[in-house]
Amino acid sequence: MKKRKTEEEAAEHLAESLEQALKWFQGDASDVTVHTFTIEVPDVAKLRRKLKLTQADFALKIGVPVATLRNWEQGRRYPTGPARVLLNVLARRPDLVMEAIEASQPVEAAE
């Protein structure tokens, strides 16, 4: 079992990390390890069609304006950040994501 770092050790580690970040920002990457991750962009139109949803319904479910969805589908823009992650998870596990989305949406009152 790992020992918990003391506050002093944690402060030293943080200071060292900040010094490395500053060096990297200033263009000196000699003592810096940089980790980068690429998250692929799925074919949004193909994904939407696979789910048998209209643009309006798909946009509503994932929480983006229809115009944004159209821009993604037509290649004028690309999803970034959380939207890109959501679309990737949706492409891999549509059942899980759709279940979570539907569980989080309010149920309409019966008339």
pLDDT in tens, 18-36: 888 888 888 887 877 777 8
Neighbours of 42 (CB within 10 A): 18
Q: Enter the pTM of the model.
A: 0.62
Whether the CB-CB separation of 110 and 65 falls below 8 Å is answered with no
pLDDT in tens, 54-100: 999 999 999 999 999 999 999 999 999 999 999 999 999 999 999 99
What is the rounded CA–CA span in Å between residue 85 and residue 67? 19
